[in-house]
């Protein structure tokens, strides 16, 4: 696909029109393509975008939830800016269709690689900041994160399920839950993992996810539900 066509499609997908289109091109360019063509790639812009993302989210939740203590705000922010959340947004925006990667990386499943997509999203945020300033970058961040913010903030406990389960098992049994990856399906570039969680050698739940960490989180949620039923 012609690179100009990619950039026009990118602006349409993102809902942002760039003054300096070269910033967008850099944000979309993965190192694999850049090394082959000796051009700039998105790593430094990703670094900038990470900071803009963090500030945008921090400012919003600080003002939106004045009743939250510092610890809850920190947990909420961590749940929002983690790679898993960013890759979910990147997939929803179909960034895999517009990221500029080498043919080898593409054949290896680069267009569905969640790490590449999450990094690309952060680079795009950095590019918007450089092109149009903080307010425009923040507007883009909140447009794509607001629903997730409200959902996470509504949770009674902002800790992730693994942390909650760990605190519970330490309190009740003075032991830590143990996780085991019991299955892996799908292609190497787009796997689905299944995890099982054990407490004192007994299985309390299984879960599946696109990463081992996500599968363990789902397993922990199942274990918490099971413990709640038996309490």
Query: What amino acid positions are annotated as catalytic residues?
Result: 50, 122
- State how far the Cα of 121 lies from the Cα of 10, in Å rounded to an integer: 12
- What strand order describes the sheet that includes 202-209? 178-185, 192-199, 202-209
Helices (H), the chain: 3-14, 21-28, 31-37, 43-64, 70-81, 83-92, 103-107, 114-132, 134-153, 161-173, 212-230
Residue 177 has φ and ψ, to the nearest 5°, of -65, 145
- State how far the Cα of 16 lies from the Cα of 98, in Å rounded to an integer: 14
- State how far the Cα of 126 lies from the Cα of 211, in Å rounded to an integer: 26
**200: Cβ contacts below 8 Å, ≥ 6 apart:** 173, 175
Cα–Cα–Cα angle for 117, 48, 128, rounded to 5 degrees: 75
- State how far the Cα of 87 lies from the Cα of 176, in Å rounded to an integer: 29
């Amino acid at each position: 696909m012609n690179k100009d066509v990619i950039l026009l499609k990118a602006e349409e997908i993102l809902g942002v029109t760039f003054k300096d289109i070269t910033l967008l091109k850099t944000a979309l360019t993965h190192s694999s393509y850049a090394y082959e063509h000796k051009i700039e790639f998105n790593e430094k812009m990703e670094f900038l975008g990470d900071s803009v993302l963090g500030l945008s989210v921090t400012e919003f939740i600080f003002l939106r939830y004045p009743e939250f203590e510092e610890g809850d705000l920190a947990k909420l922010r961590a749940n929002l800016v983690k790679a898993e959340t960013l890759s979910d947004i990147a997939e929803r925006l179909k960034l895999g269709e517009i990221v500029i990667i080498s043919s080898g990386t593409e054949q290896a499943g680069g267009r569905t690689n969640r790490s590449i997509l999450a990094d690309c999203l952060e680079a795009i945020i950095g590019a918007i900041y450089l092109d149009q300033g903080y307010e425009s970058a923040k507007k883009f961040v909140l447009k794509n994160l607001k629903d997730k913010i409200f959902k996470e903030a509504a949770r009674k406990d902002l800790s992730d399920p693994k942390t909650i389960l760990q605190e519970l098992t330490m309190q009740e049994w003075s032991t830590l839950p143990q996780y085991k990856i019991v299955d892996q399906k799908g292609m190497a570039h787009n796997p689905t993992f299944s995890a099982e969680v054990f407490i004192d050698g007994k299985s309390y739940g299984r879960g599946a996810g696109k990463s081992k960490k996500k599968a363990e989180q789902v397993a922990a949620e199942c274990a918490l539900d099971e413990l709640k039923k038996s309490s």
